[in-house]
Amino acid sequence: MKKNYVLDANVLLHDPHAVFKFEDNNVIIPIYAIEEIDKFKRESTERGRNARTVARVLDQLRGENGSLSQQVPLKGGGTLQIAVPKRRHELGVGLDSNSLDHAILQTAIDVRDRDKACPTVFVTMDTNLRIRADAIGVASQTYENPRVQDLDLEKSVIEVQVPPAEIDGFFATGSVTVSHPDLYPNAGVLLRNEQALSHTALARYDGKVVKALRVPREGVMSIRPRNKEQSIALDLLLDDSVRLVCLLGKAGTGKTLLALAAGLHRTTIDHTYTRLLVSRPVMPLGRDLGFLPGDVDEKLNPWMQPIFDNLEYIFTQAPHAGGGGRDSRAYLPLVENGVIQVEPLTYIRGRSLPKQFLIVDEAQNLTPHEIKTIITRSGEGTKVILTGDPHQIDHPYVDHASNGLSVAAQRFKSERLAGHVALAKGERSELAELAANLL
């Protein structure tokens, strides 16, 4: 049965091609949504680019099919219409009639009342607006297209019970063939002797056989894994055949630290990559301080400081790194020489990045489209690391199942050149782990 889908402005700003994602249903865009999108067209941000793309998509449809005030056909059998009221809408409840949100919501009410034979659904990524829509009797839902279904990223270490002979053979040769319905490429595997359950081995499935981890006993840059998830993560980070690694986990689980340690090792010691490039979205925690003084580097320093904190810790633990003493600032010459580059994601669009170890921190605050933009920057020989906590999101229009980190991890799950690990245990300190669990 066909449905009428009334789209909020934030759906189009999130996905400029959303009008084509509703199969054979009727898509209605309130003129007020176009008015709201128009406010962002001059921005240099991803939102501004999406606003301009929306205008081009709609203008092309207008040129091909005529006025959008009438229903025009879409590929897939659906239709598109811009809802243009004869007068300014006023909700029949005590809400602000000057709000564009409420004007858009009133359009959904009008569509519902005008076409009672066809169910009407209001689509918005604004949780509060969905609540308001529900309160006044309008069916509403979030935009489902970017969301991943059956999110099962927590199963990154799969336990497999094997006969004693197989686990002995694994220790002797470093590999074993096992069968398990949950195995996928680059999944961590905990082999357990079925006759002596305390006899275990940690490994990784390469798509064909289970192989032993190749993490050095001394760790990398004097950073040693402290649990099985960290061991598997470090093995993935050091494997050049795995070009995309997603590290998920709560605060203090070592996501950024492990990625930086592996990147420094592969860049400064093994010389496999020409540069360690670290980037993160510029999103403050708490109230923004406004404009900051100084040049670009000085303005960005507060947002990049967590990266520098981890670098200082690594160089304190590894006095030999970069040559010279237990100096927490020993990484600065590498920064000055361009071997380590720390910058915001704002500058990554349009670049081509060959033979670089690229770490994107706090990736849960990025949309799937932004993650796509980042990954498609990778040139020949580049390795991309995405780190973040899908349950700690500052972006207003994504959640644990629709943020770029979760989407990338889930959609690349069956690919042999990608891997993900869900880090569960906090290792920063006893107090930090307790706070993460109790607060």
Is 227 in contact with 248 (CB distance < 8 Å)? no
- Helix, strand, coil percentages (3-state) for the chain, rounded to 5, are 35, 20, 45
Q: How confident is the model at residue 429 (pLDDT cuts 50, 70, 90)?
A: confident
- For residue 324, the model assigns a pLDDT of 47
Percent of the chain with pLDDT over 90: 56
Asked whether the predicted pLDDT for residue 89 surpasses 70, the reply is no
Higher model confidence: residue 185 or residue 320?
Answer: 185
* ∠ Cα 343 346 348 (to 5°): 75
Q: Following DSSP, what letter does each residue of 259-326 receive, concatenated?
A: HHHHHHIIIIIS--SSEEEEEE----SSS------SSHHHHHHHHHHHHHHHHHHHHHH-TTTTTSTT
Asked whether the predicted pLDDT for residue 94 surpasses 60, the reply is no
Q: How confident is the model at residue 172 (pLDDT cuts 50, 70, 90)?
A: very high
Report d(CA 8, CA 37) in Å as an integer.
Answer: 10
Asked whether the predicted pLDDT for residue 290 surpasses 90, the reply is no
Percent of the chain with pLDDT over 70: 88
Distance, first Cα to last Cα, the chain? 46
Tokens of 288: 């923004």
Q: How confident is the model at residue 202 (pLDDT cuts 50, 70, 90)?
A: very high
Q: How confident is the model at residue 407 (pLDDT cuts 50, 70, 90)?
A: very high
Average pLDDT across the chain, whole number: 86
Report d(CA 229, CA 214) in Å as an integer.
Answer: 14
- For residue 286, the model assigns a pLDDT of 39
Asked whether the predicted pLDDT for residue 349 surpasses 80, the reply is no
Report d(CA 243, CA 381) in Å as an integer.
Answer: 8
- Burial group, residue 381, by CB count within 10 angstroms (0-12, 13-18, 19+): middle
pLDDT tens digits, one per residue of 355-399: 999 999 999 999 888 899 899 989 999 999 999 999 888 887 788
- For residue 91, the model assigns a pLDDT of 59
Report d(CA 7, CA 107) in Å as an integer.
Answer: 10
- Mean of pLDDT values over 259-268: 95
Side-by-side strand order, sheet with 26-30: 72-73, 79-83, 26-30, 4-7, 120-123, 140-141
- Mean of pLDDT values over 325-339: 78
pTM reported for the whole predicted model: 0.81
